[in-house]
Amino acid sequence: MPKIVTLPGDGIGPEVTAAAVEVLREVAPDLTFEEHAIGGMAYDAHGDPFPQRTRDALADADAVLLGTVGGPQNSPWNSLPRPMRPESGLLALRKALGCYANLRPVRVQPGLEHLSPLKPELARGVDILIVRELLGGVYFDQDRKIDGDTAYNTMRYTTPEVERVARMAFWAAEQRKGRVTSVDKANVLEVSELWRRDVQALRDRDYRNIHLNHEYVDSVAMLIVSDPSRYDVIVTENLFGDILSDLAAVIPGSLGLMPSASLGDGAGLFEPIHGSAPDIAGKGIANPAAAIMSAAMLLRHGLKRSDAANQIERAVALALREEPTRDLGGKADTRTFTNAVLEAMGTPVG
């Protein structure tokens, strides 16, 4: 009986996680679920955005399903010392799990081109996998400070950090079209010079079957929306990957269609890429598709159950055709969309 730790978190996190758990229960009745606190709600309840009880629960977890963390701009959480803020809880969780590679697929399913703001001929057939480095760079480097009118952060990478995430990208590309684009800013940054050198050396040493090219991040920001079909796998550092993946959400049509899987040393972490959406939280209208598709990634990557993952993804595509949510210009609320997914899986709707 695989144990799934669920961490619903803040804002729309509980709403979309509940939908994902409902779908998981239908497709994999043997799973057990254990819910724990993370983020701002964990700080309010336990004085810590990543409480010890949550940390302890990870020890024998087979996979972790996360909702979202964080509050609105005026939230008191944003005035806490940085380590106590909701987002720091999430970063500590990623670190505790050793999840250094964050896989963020960007896909336009056949028949869903109309949900994209791009011209149908640009959106059709898009299938990109962004592999974002998740445990390094400016996010984690301890050489950081704000002091009076001066502040700095440090973007630092080591060769082993670059190689392990690049291996993940090459491995993913081997099961796809065999093309990897490494994204950096090597025309300006030393850290990108190292990144580019190490990714190329690894390819030349161990992945001669992969076609690798290097592009600058500013150029990719333009090309990923104007000519998305040029990309298969993209591999990039933490901050660039964060920004490019929200940008790429424009291609399928919404942040609500962007799932992710974070893989590394131990149990995987599965979470939508969107945030807590304070503007719509508590209204029951959030698009749960990204959370449900993250649950599918949990089945595929975390539990090696590809058939069940495919079943969920097919059902989500059908539901998006029948009952699009408001972020996609439709009318469905969270409940209606989730029911449509359950129905599309051949499950009687209660």
Question: Where is the binding site for substrate, in residues?
Answer: 94, 104, 132, 218
Under the binding rule (CB under 6 A), the answer on residue 87 touching ligand IPM is yes
Q: Are 180 and 129 in contact (CB under 8 A)?
A: no
Distances 208 to 57, 129, 168 between C-alpha atoms, Å: 41, 20, 15
Q: Which is nearer to ligand NAD, 8 or 207 (CB)?
A: 8
Under the binding rule (CB under 6 A), the answer on residue 249 touching ligand IPM is no
- Residue nearest ligand IPM by beta-carbon distance: 87
Candidates 85-93, 146-154, 251-259, 286-294; binding stretch for ligand IPM (CB under 6 A): 85-93
**Chain-centre distance for alpha carbon 116:** 19
Binding pattern for the stretch 13-52 against ligand IPM, x by CB under 6 A and - elsewhere = ----------------------------------------
Q: Half-sphere exposure of 44 toward its Cβ, with a 13 Å CA cutoff?
A: 12
Q: Among the residues of the chain, which ranges form H helices?
A: 13-27, 40-46, 52-57, 86-97, 120-123, 159-174, 190-206, 217-226, 238-248, 289-297, 306-322, 334-344
Q: Which is nearer to ligand IPM, 182 or 276 (CB)?
A: 276
- Contacting residues toward ligand NAD, per CB under 6 A: 12, 16, 68-71, 87, 90, 255-256, 271, 274-280, 286-287, 290, 327
Under the binding rule (CB under 6 A), the answer on residue 10 touching ligand IPM is no
Q: Are 250 and 264 in contact (CB under 8 A)?
A: no
Which of 90, 106, 234, 296 lies at the binding interface for ligand IPM (CB under 6 A)? Answer: 90
Pairing state between β 268-270 and 261-263 = antiparallel
Minimum CB–partner distance for residue 167 and ligand NAD (Å): 24
Minimum CB–partner distance for residue 201 and ligand NAD (Å): 32
- Choose the one of ligand IPM, ligand NAD, Mn ion, none that binds residue 334, judging by a C-beta under 5 to 8 angstroms depending on kind: none
Q: Which is nearer to ligand NAD, 85 or 196 (CB)?
A: 85
- Angle subtended by helix axes 238-248 and 217-226, to nearest 10: 20
User: What is the rounded radius of gyration, in angstroms, for the C-alpha atoms of the chain?
Assistant: 20
Q: How do the residues of the chain divide into helix, strand and coil, expressed in percent and rounded to 5?
A: 45, 15, 35
- Residue nearest Mn ion by beta-carbon distance: 242
Mind telling me the catalytic residues?
A: 139, 185, 218, 242, 246
Q: Are 38 and 66 in contact (CB under 8 A)?
A: yes
Question: Helix or strand or coil: residue 82?
Answer: helix
Contacts of 18 (CB under 8 A, 6+ apart): 8
Minimum CB–partner distance for residue 324 and ligand NAD (Å): 11
Minimum CB–partner distance for residue 134 and ligand IPM (Å): 7
Q: Which is nearer to Mn ion, 201 or 225 (CB)?
A: 225
Binding pattern for the stretch 222-261 against Mn ion, x by CB under 5 A and - elsewhere = --------------------x-------------------
Residues near ligand IPM, by CB under 6 A: 70, 87, 90-91, 242, 273
Residues near Mn ion, by CB under 5 A: 242
